[in-house]
């Protein structure tokens, strides 16, 4: 089968990476309008870099969990063709061994030049006056999609989802668009794997609930034998 898996923050939560909906996580210490919007970055780039430096450190301290590892195992399987589309900016899929990963919201471990659009592997700590490695302009920012910006690779994502025999959403609340609407593009079977029903759970043909580290490996075991 051609399988497309959409992953959200729920798949990384058990690795210690929180979401902006968590009650006591990193996001609660900051105003989203100030650290996750282009306007916030324009007002105070130092604060934005401080926030993403903390997120980057959190990511580097975290390890892939059993759900990430199960998807990497599925990708290595010769029985199916897997593409992972992730809303997450962490690199836990890649660190688990997955190669076919499309980051629709960018990558925390990459830098972007607001002046020339160059991209590069980000250092652990970024500062507002860091020169771009390509054009030397002091206009560097994290290569992540902020609120109000257009997600990356949407044409490619729409194409792989509509061509899939099976579309699976894992660990996503289905409250952020356009990711929440991808199930509507699916022409094949659809499955939700989640801790609890998402806002779009009734749009899926089937659903299973529980911790990602339990239900994802179980589902992959069924597919791979």
Q: Which residues, including other chains, have CB under 8 Å from residue 24's CB and lie 6 or more apart?
A: none
Euclidean distance between CA atoms 157 and 164, whole angstroms: 11
* Dist CA 63 CA 84 (whole Å): 18
How far apart, in whole angstroms, are the C-alpha atoms of residue 34 and residue 99?
A: 33
Catalytic residue among 49, 93, 105, 153: 105
CA-only gyration radius of the chain, Å = 18
Sheet holding 166-170, edge to edge: 101-103, 81-86, 2-7, 166-170, 189-194, 206-209
103 classed as catalytic: no
- Give alpha helix (H) positions in 19-106: 32-35, 38-43, 45-61, 66-76, 92-96
Neighbours of 206 (CB within 10 A): 10
* Helix (H/G/I), strand (E/B), else coil: 199: coil
- Contact yes or no for 15/63 (Cβ under 8 A): yes
**Catalytic annotation, residues:** 105
């Amino acid at each position: 089968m051609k399988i497309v898996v959409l992953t959200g923050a729920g798949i990384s939560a058990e690795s210690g990476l929180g979401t902006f909906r968590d009650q006591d996580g990193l996001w609660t210490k900051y105003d989203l309008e100030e650290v996750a919007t282009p306007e916030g970055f324009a007002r105070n780039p130092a604060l934005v870099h401080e926030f993403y430096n903390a997120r980057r450190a959190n990511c580097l301290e975290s390890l892939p969990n059993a759900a990430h590892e199960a998807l990497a195992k599925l990708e290595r399987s010769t029985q199916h063709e897997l593409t992972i589309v992730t809303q997450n900016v962490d690199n836990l899929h890649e660190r688990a061994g997955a190669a076919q990963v499309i980051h629709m919201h960018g990558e925390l471990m990459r830098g972007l030049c607001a002046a020339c659009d160059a991209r590069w592997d980000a250092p652990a700590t970024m500062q507002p006056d860091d020169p771009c490695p390509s054009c030397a302009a002091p206009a560097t920012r994290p290569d992540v999609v902020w609120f109000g910006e257009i997600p990356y690779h949407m044409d490619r994502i729409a194409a792989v989802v509509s061509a899939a025999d099976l579309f699976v959403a894992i660990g996503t609340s289905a409250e952020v668009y356009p990711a929440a609407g991808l199930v509507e593009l699916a022409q094949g079977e659809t499955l939700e794997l989640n801790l609890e029903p998402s806002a779009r759970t009734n749009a899926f043909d089937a659903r299973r609930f529980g911790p990602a580290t339990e239900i994802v490996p179980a589902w992959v075991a069924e597919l791979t034998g």
